[in-house]
Chain A
Amino acid sequence: MVQLTPALLILLGFATSVSAGSSDIFPYAYKMEQLENGLTVVSVPLPFPNIISYYTIIRCGSRNEVELGKSGFAHFFEHMMFKGTKKMPRAAYDDFLTRLGAGTNGYTTDDYTCYFVVFAGRENLSRVVEVEADRFINLYYDEESLKTEAPVIEGEYYSSVSNPDRRLLELLRQTAFEKHSYKHTTLGYLEDIKDMPNQFAYSQQFKERYYSPDNTIILVAGDFNHDELMKLIKYHYNSWPRSNYLLETPEEPPQTRPKRAHYPWPARTLARLAIAFHGPAFSAEVVDKAALDLLAQASFSPSSPLYQRLVIEEQKCVSLNASFPDRRDPYLLIFTATIKKDEDLPYVEQQIVAELERLKTEPIPVETLAGVKSNLRYSLAQDLGTTDGLASTLAFYLNLRPDPQILNRLFRLYEEVTPEIIQQMARKYFRPEASTVVTLTGGKEP
């Protein structure tokens, strides 16, 4: 029997209406439609009164910065998206949002850029749709305006310049990746940031390529009527032309030798360690990433034996963490530790490596795995507990696959993961030649 997934139905030109099934982790009914120009709209009417979250998800992030000298550009362009249009210049746009009393902002990630307007009162929805559509279709700014905005990015860079964790992550990505654009962080390299004032022409090209309906998802959650919403969206977004641009991200060659780097922090600080392995891209179909997610939790969460020993019993570390972020392309499986004494760095590194080796030979206890699955389910239930919590969580998954069913599929995949599968994944991914170790230690006593 052929089962039509919502995504497939859309490809066939249908709109989808999905009620939550009893085994579904995503507890709300939703509707999904696609306009002729490729714009995907997901609507989730919710029982929480009076609040509406209106999210515009552009599937473009620092992953799209594949050209030399353009690191950080997706984030910079996010700033430019607030410059207004000829019909509604910046001041008028600000005035509109201010009167609305909206919680509004944008953020840029590796894979997507998200803009949200969270506001009270369903009577305001029609105006929000109109204004947001105008902004995304008709953005207008001149070169002077871009040159004035560019130094703000430098200021944003400086606002976290004293944070060693940011430096550690920058160095880790720079060392671990050779070709893929995940090599740099969303803020980008400082030298590229300093060159942003000179990138007006490129910014126009950037918009044409990526800020298009076929690369965008509108997600609306909260107190509204779906049919009214769709009427508004079709009216205001229909004129937005497709881009049809296809991004080719450079393929990362397999790592064949272990890598290592160190950053000497100029002032006193706790020591930092990051160990990374190249891992798989997000998938709700292939089990690898799901199994690794469970492995990270089972072996490095506060309830894990290694955490309990290094952080609580031996008190070598302030924190120990495994972070395997979901990304559209293959990314990193990262283990980090903040260590109390510099001299314990080698010991902590050795303990993490030993744990990874152990995972290859000893299966994780079944009850531990059950605890992890329970944790993930209840964590998600908490994330989905408010209108905006639901919208921001779903926005992340929609960027990965523009279909809310992705959450249900992912959690069903988690249920299929066994200790044996986790063991296989440990063997497959934690190969010494694919590892990158980055350390950071501080200066001496003044």
Chain B
Amino acid sequence: MNHLAPRLCFFIFLGVGLMLTNFSCQRVDPNCFRLELLPEKNHPLVHLRVLLRIGSANDPRGKEGITQLCLNLLANGGTRTKTYQEITKAFYPLAVSVELNVDKEMSVFSATVHRDNLEKFYALFREMLLDPGFREDDFHRLKTDQLSFLEKTLVNNMDEQFGKEILNLMLYENHPYGHHEAGTVETVKSITLDEIKAFYKDQMVQGNLIIGLAGGYPDNFPAKISADFSCLPRGFTPQLKLPVPKPAKGLEIVIAEKETPATAISLGFHHPLTRSKDDFFPLWLACSHFGEHRQHLSRLFQKIREERGQNYGDYAYAEYFLQGRDKFPATNYCRQQQYFSVWIRPVPNSNRHFVLRQTLRELQKLVEAGIPKERFDLVRTYLLNYTRLYTQTLAERLGWQIDSHYYGYEDFLGEVQKRLPLLTKEDVNRAIRKYLNYQNIYIAIITKDGEALKEALVANTASPIKYANPRMPASVLDEDKEIEIFPLPVKPENVLVVPASEFFQKPGIPGKK
């Protein structure tokens, strides 16, 4: 790729940056970047966020992992004039680093810096994104790290995440979402530095960028940034036209087999909603009732953890969820397609069959009976108050602002305050019946003795469990009698047992024809 044009631009505009305030074109011209500003004049900090409207779904076939590797070279590599070592040395006294998050259709560089240090930081940050070095040694370092993550860490050191990633493979087989952001061992190995440079040239164009600024930045700073980033070529990558993902037929199960004392379970299925649809609000409320992330109010949490002490927690989500600060949702993981999911944290292997039965039985009850009136009132009140805590930091406030605009709102959280009071229990139950089901589900399980579990699932073998408490309440024991024989319609051809080490070697689910 030829870097000359952007570089030339960089120097030309350096002196005249303040004069170039092309904000006016930004909301109408798709070839132009957009600014998202959130000034808080007296705030001592400034948060910068450069968002690309591309992600791992834009990886070309056979080069899965290239978006992450390319952007990581910008965030954690040198520039044309400075080595990565020089950059880390310069950043250190400022207590700042550039964070990179790559998702399916969105990637974000972000940093929070004290306003004392804004100029110094920004001078380097700008160079990292607009004039990268693409050095061989940085490329080798980051590619090796990405491969280590896929080959060793993801499969062997983080079972809960591993389970979620297998669920993603199942939900999006032969789909642009259907690989991990880090790619696969085979495809990452095949990526060359020239391919990275070409990818940068294609994707780092103005229209792909949203540039966010929040906090106590000087009045002239947006103009300065605007001038600098105007040197990128105009243009944009059209939003992906995603295929309809293949729904599960019955209970489709993949068991990743490894030596482990506990079983991690993730399950889910697609739905056609995103936050931009009206029906999202009642579905979101239903999921909060069923499994609000790390909160006691969750029905699954109450039944599995609180009543029975089976594990650390059990949650359900109406859309892709990543935990941000504390337990709040992370921002800027917007997607065109979403799914419902349940995350069952590791349970002792001896109880895995029981807990899977219990989870699906609870889901069936939710779909068939809906949400009770008192729970509807409670969860609605909860969400109205809890979402007021989502925007405590500059990064959160700016992140939510960007997400709001992506989904077509001026202020999504403000919309929550307006819409939830208007919702009825019937709205929620209608959404539950329309978008949730208990018959067609993808289920990912990380456990040992996978074949034994498969056999038990297919045969619907009874799965009673034992408690440390000899005086468990009769209501719990009575319900257990129903759960331990709760039939799961599992067909042998729908259960795949695969050694854990075979995942993420190549695109797709290993062992699947």
Contacts and interface: CB of A to CB of B under 8 A. Distances in A.
Do A and B associate with each other?
yes
B158 A163 contact: yes
A372 to B, nearest CB: 8
Contacts of A213: none
Contact of B93 (A158, A197, A371): A371
B86 to A, nearest CB: 10
Given A150-B468, A154-B348, A302-B92, A159 B152 contact: no
B472 A148 contact: yes
B192 interface: no
A434 interface: no
A228 to B, nearest CB: 21
A442 B152 contact: yes
A155 interface: yes
Contact of B144 (A48, A121, A315): A315
B159 A118 contact: no
B95 A374 contact: yes
B381 A268 contact: no
A361 interface: no
A162 B261 CA distance: 9
Interface stretch (A99-107, A177-185, A242-250, A344-352): A99-107
Contact of A148 (B141, B307, B347, B379): B307
Given A151-B468, A313-B137, A388-B392, A382 B112 contact: yes
Contact of B95 (A144, A318, A340, A382): A382
Contacts of A120: 385, 388-389
B65 interface: no
A385 B95 CA distance: 14
Contact of A147 (B43, B92, B469): B469
Interface string A145-172: 0011111101110110111100000000
Interface string B377-402: 01101111111110011100000000
Contacts, number: 210
A103 B386 contact: yes
A312 B95 contact: no
Given A302-B92, A374-B93, A161 B260 contact: yes
B151 A268 contact: yes
B189 interface: no
A111 to B, nearest CB: 21
Contacts of A205: none
The interface residues of chain A, by DSSP majority, are classed as helix
A119 B387 CA distance: 10
B262 interface: yes
B85 interface: yes
Nearest to B90: A303
A119 B381 CA distance: 13
Interface in A333-381: 340, 370-372, 374-379, 381
A378 B94 contact: yes
A162 B311 contact: no
B377 to A, nearest CB: 9
A5 interface: no
Contact of A270 (B153, B297, B327): B153
Nearest to A303: B92
A232 B341 CA distance: 43
A269 B467 contact: no
A321 interface: no
Given A99-B382, A152-B311, A155-B347, A378 B148 contact: no
Contacts of A149: 309
A382 B393 CA distance: 10
Given A148-B308, A303-B89, A162 B156 contact: yes
A16 interface: no
A313 B84 CA distance: 10
B300 to A, nearest CB: 14
Interface stretch (A90-98, A324-332, A400-408, A419-427): A90-98
Interface in B491-513: 499-501
A370 B261 CA distance: 49
A51 B389 contact: yes
B140 A97 contact: no
A267 interface: yes
Contacts of B346: 155, 158-159, 161
Given A99-B385, A340-B148, A144 B469 contact: yes
A269 B152 contact: yes
Contact of B148 (A51, A99, A197, A318): A318
A158 B261 contact: yes
Interface string B320-363: 00000011100000000000000001111000000000000000
Q: Which of B296, B381, B393 is packed against the most chain A CB atoms within 10 Å?
A: B296
A302 B259 CA distance: 35
A162 B155 CA distance: 9
Contact of B310 (A155, A161, A370): A155
Contacts of B241: none
Interface string B252-296: 000000111110000000000000000000000000000000111
Contacts of A303: 88-89, 91-92
Query: Interface range on chain B: under 10, 10 to 19, 20 to 34, or 35 or more?
Result: 35 or more
B18 interface: no
B160 interface: yes
Nearest to A376: B95
B389 A268 contact: no
Nearest to B377: A99
Interface in B41-97: 43-45, 84-85, 88-89, 91-97
Nearest to A156: B312
B114 interface: yes
Contacts of B312: 152, 155-156, 158-159
Contacts of A225: none
Nearest to A380: B95
Contacts of A95: 378
B467 A148 contact: yes
B117 interface: yes
Contacts of B151: 268
A118 B85 contact: no
Contact of A164 (B88, B95, B157, B348): B157
B305 interface: yes
Contact of A144 (B137, B157, B472): B472
Contacts of B140: 315
B471 interface: yes
A378 B116 CA distance: 9
A57 B56 CA distance: 43
A109 interface: no
Contact of A312 (B85, B156, B294): B85
Nearest to B327: A103
A375 B117 CA distance: 11
Nearest to A392: B326
Contacts of B45: 381-382, 385
A78 to B, nearest CB: 13
Q: Which of A95, A103, A164, A446 is packed against the most chain B CB atoms within 10 Å?
A: A103
Nearest to A302: B88
A148 B473 CA distance: 10
Interface string B464-483: 00011111110000000000
Given A156-B312, A381-B45, A340 B144 contact: yes
Contacts of B387: 101
Nearest to A367: B93
14 contacts: A101-B389, A102-B386, A148-B307, A152-B310, A155-B311, A155-B312, A159-B160, A159-B346, A267-B155, A312-B137, A313-B137, A385-B43, A385-B112, A387-B392
Interface of B: 43-45, 84-85, 88-89, 91-97, 112, 114, 116-117, 137, 140-141, 144-145, 148, 151-153, 155-160, 162, 258-262, 294-297, 305, 307-312, 326-328, 345-348, 378-379, 381-389, 392-394, 467-473, 499-501
Interface of A: 48, 50-51, 82, 94-95, 97-103, 105, 118-121, 144, 147-152, 154-156, 158-159, 161-164, 197, 265-270, 301-303, 308, 312-313, 315, 318, 340, 370-372, 374-379, 381-382, 385-389, 442, 446
Q: 3 closest A-B pairs (Cβ-Cβ)? A: A101-B385, A147-B469, A158-B262
